[in-house]
Amino acid sequence: MEEMKILVGLSGGVDSAVAAYLLKQQGYDLSCAFMRNWDSAAEDDYNGNPTVADPICPQEQDFLDAKAVADKLGIELLRIDFVKEYWDDVFHTFLNEYKRGRTPNPDILCNQHIKFGSFWQFAKENGFDTLATGHYARMDQRNSRPVLCKADDRNKDQSYFLCQVQRPMLDHILFPLGSITKPEVRRIAAELNLDSVARKKDSTGICFIGERRFREFLSNYLPMQPGDIINVDNQSVVGRHKGVLYYTMGQRKGLDIGGTGPYYVCGKDVAANELYVCDEKHQHWLYSDACTVRSLNWLADCPETVSCMAKFRYRQPDLPVRLMKQEDGSIRCEYPETIRSVTPGQEAVFYLDDMVLGGGVIDQVFCHDADLMQSVRNKAHA
């Protein structure tokens, strides 16, 4: 077996715990590390509204669970603080994208800048040459080069969230869970008596921040500015929104529009502070047939023009698209059969079969009703 020194990201959840166990069983030289990336006390100071804390905050409980796993497996556990890096590289970007009226993906930002950025830098500086995590994804070889692929468990596949990992990193990553299923992971944890994590529910919410009442959380940093909700079909004002930044394409719940419905968010104008919606009978407003993608990260060689599959959000089925590279480094992504709720700020991730070609941020979305939407805005402002 090739000698390598591995640092495993141990989060306090069942996936990373079983990933560490599997690597140890294979005889690797490994240590584990727990990353602290969000300062709840600083959040309280920023908001000026400290709340009554639980006896142990969720992040500290995660550390204790990670320590219990490391102790049980007999593996060294390090504790690393990336609070400043997370704030500067992930959370500021997250807020700035929302200010522009876009919907960013914090999990992708976190993988890019923290788990496979700052964490990898720490690993190299401390003598490790490989990182391992509990992500459901696979590493493979194509034409003697490492490539990122979907996990065998398609229901849990997380390759979408890894699209901004830098290509040179692919030589230094292990994903031990790439070929097993989530039920198998839980079974292994139970058999090992990893009681702290075996039945622990999967983490949800914003990466490293956790579950929050999202609108209230965001309003601490981006104050609410109420405005009109406009039905694009007849230019009528049908309600009031609490802040146009807090809504995303295709959203139905939380609009608080009385009377007929349901309504769906189909656009917004940040400068005018207007939210555009359509009703059940006019959902064509939600569909587009092309978009521009920027901030591209290629994980495999891609020709100037290629037909492939794409996801425009996690859990979305793969959809056929055609990519055309542009002179400014962006790509034009076309899907003539139309796709619903493609959202600026979200990530478009491209696949050839099970291999990740790369991904980038959706910048502009185009549809046959673009001129009509502009006329609606002009009438609304008249």
Residues with active-site annotation: 110, 207
The phi, psi pair for 307, rounded to 5°, reads -100, 130
Question: Among 31, 199, 201, 37, which Cα is nearest to 113's?
Answer: 37
Residue 111 dihedral angles phi and psi, to the nearest 5°:
-65, -40
Measured at the alpha carbon of residue 306, what is the angle toward residues 302 and 310, in degrees to the nearest 5?
90
Q: d(Cα 288, Cα 298) in Å, to the nearest integer?
A: 24
C-alpha distances (whole Å) from 209 to each of 112, 160, 212 are 16, 20, 8
Q: HEC states along 335-353?
A: EEEEEECCCCCCEEEEEEC
**Distance, CA of 356 to CA of 354 (rounded, Å):** 7
125: helix, strand or coil? helix
What is the side-by-side strand order in the sheet with 130-132?
77-81, 29-36, 5-9, 130-132, 173-174
**Burial tier of 52 (Cβ tally within 10 Å: 0-12, 13-18, 19+):** exposed
Instruction: Tell me the pairing of strands 130-132 and 5-9.
Output: parallel
The count of C-alpha atoms lying within 13 angstroms of the C-alpha of 273, restricted to the half-sphere facing its C-beta, is 10
d(CA 251, CA 348): 19
Dihedral (CA of 237, 242, 247, 253) sign? negative
Picking from 36, 37, 30, the residue whose alpha carbon sits closest to that of residue 70 is 30
∠71-75-78 over CA atoms, to 5°? Answer: 90
Structure tokens, 289: 């047939």
Say what the alpha-carbon torsion angle 206, 211, 216, 221 is, to the nearest 10 degrees. Answer: -40
